[in-house]
Chains A and B, each alone.
Chain A
Amino acid sequence: MPLLVRKTLRDYRRALIGWTIGICLFSGMYTSFFPQMRENPDFYSQAALAKYPDGVRKLMGGLENITSGTGFLQAVVYQLFVPLLFTMCAVVLANRALAAPEESGTLELTLTLPVDRKRLVLERFAGLAVALLVVAVVSLAVLAILGSAVGLDVSFDRILAAHTGLYLLVLLFGTLALAVGAATGKKALAMSVAGAYAVVGYVVNALSADVEVMKWLNVFSPFHYYSEGNPLVNGFPIGDYLVLLAATAVLTLTAVLSFDRRDVGV
């Protein structure tokens, strides 16, 4: 592994452990509620319908079939909270790649190493991708093991398909933050742009079934490609995932080119 990637991962280590534990705890805790839900299907689906007004329920993905394993997993893990948490993790880590060290001044010495700027950005991106992969793999393992323990009855390849989508989704938002940081050197801006895009993208996707404008806008929402294929039911939506991957590639290229041509630290 290249030195700079290794160094990036070493710098991420503590944050990475924290985020991994957080995301695993969160998704694990919710998954372990499933037996209760299964025991009282009528009560909980009624409760879910009654508790949230129509609009809110739409924003949360409908909350239908919440008492089946697939519906439950979709609602509590893949719909909103885990993508949100994982996206925050991606954006925070991405900011530590370029924008944060630029603001604190530590990037200056790194730049004067005999490393091409393009390579620096690529290796920092690789560090980010590997770090997020670690979180994804560990949380996938926790979900798969816990899921079979509580009898979710969702096959591993479906969970793998959904989790792959989750990884590609957060990698995209992380790369967006990296690209804004690479182009501007401002971590607050990078965080706001990526955060706003994630929130707007989520809302647009959630409302796209009912609102005509949103349906058009949904082409630009990463959540559309993340959830449209319903991977927990249908397995890998290859085409949709390739769109997420392609967007990440374009953002990476943007990061490389914009960082290569500007003044750093002024």
Chain B
Amino acid sequence: MTAVVETEGLTKFYGKRRGLEDLTLEIHPGEVFGYLGPNGAGKTTTIRLLLDVIRPTRGLARVLGADPRDAAIRGRIGYLPGELALEGREKASEYLEFLAGVRGGVAKGRIEALAERLEADLSVRMGQLSKGNKQKVGLIQAFMHEPEFLILDEPTSGLDPLVQQEFLAMVREVRTAGRTVLMSSHVLAEVEHVSDRVGIVRRGRLVAVEDIAALREKAVRKVELHFDAPVPEEAFRDLPGVRELKVEGASLRCTIDGRPDALIKAAARFTVVHMVSAEPDLEEIFLTYYSEDVHHAPVGA
């Protein structure tokens, strides 16, 4: 099976400023690929290169087996821009019909069904849509022609939590149907529940591609344990993966790299009354990758 996205040394400079450098990446058919990175890291640059909105400085990209310049393949892609601009006096429904027409039509009732699902009001003029409603219109146009490949740039921005859940359900349905999704985000929490793999991009470079399960293991987690009586610090010292240990009376704080197994077993000897484990923070994952970069750098130099 040919890859849905295949890039080799894909590089984009805006004048002297680096947008993306040396991206080699493959996205397989049927997977949901989360593309993570802070703002300005090169996510949108990558996406625009795949859609031929901008042209690479060097390197190769193939999308659905074809050159991105081939206009015909864009009919098989659904795209939600990161900064979706919709304006004018045209009604959202008219605009969607226009887009559907250019893409060769969509199934009857499909637009209305999606609008109902996302609770979007399509009778509003585009210039008067709220940010959230704009995003909904953007999602409808991306999903409506049931494309083989969905490219969603920061899809959940501006959506309220209930609509976000509905959107994630739509992404899962697309995956179940065997189609492919590339979605970018700067928040891991937004993509981790639907993604099979994630790529992390930082300062224009892809620093890691992991599957979600592996990424979770690498994640640094803050953990807090409260006991019914003061505990001795020695019982928790030098446990594998436990760092920044701080024991104060009956409470313990630390961070964990990877599995919490050793900490849990050590804590099991005492009576645990309360436990808090924060979701791993993406920024901390970035920092792990970043510090790895720093460690490796002198060796190469």
Contacts and interface: CB of A to CB of B under 8 A. Distances in A.
Given A112-B79, A115-B102, A266-B14, A104 B85 contact: yes
Contacts of A157: none
A197 B187 CA distance: 51
Contacts of A4: 102
B71 A266 contact: no
B102 A264 contact: no
A39 interface: no
B261 interface: no
A106 B85 contact: yes
A263 B53 contact: yes
Contact of B53 (A10, A112, A119, A261): A112
B108 to A, nearest CB: 18
A184 to B, nearest CB: 15
Interface string A96-109: 00000000111011
Nearest to B74: A114
A191 to B, nearest CB: 19
A110 to B, nearest CB: 9
B74 A113 contact: yes
Given A7-B98, A11-B90, A263-B55, A115 B71 contact: yes
A42 interface: no
B51 A114 contact: no
A116 B81 contact: no
A169 B27 CA distance: 52
Contact of A10 (B90, B99, B102): B90
Contacts of A106: 85-87
22 contacts: A14-B89, A105-B85, A106-B86, A108-B85, A109-B81, A109-B85, A112-B74, A112-B79, A113-B75, A113-B103, A114-B75, A114-B102, A115-B74, A115-B102, A116-B71, A262-B55, A263-B53, A263-B54, A263-B55, A264-B53, A265-B53, A266-B14
Interface of B: 14, 48, 51-55, 71-75, 77, 79, 81, 83-90, 98-99, 101-104, 141
Interface of A: 3-4, 7, 10-11, 14, 104-106, 108-109, 111-117, 119, 261-266
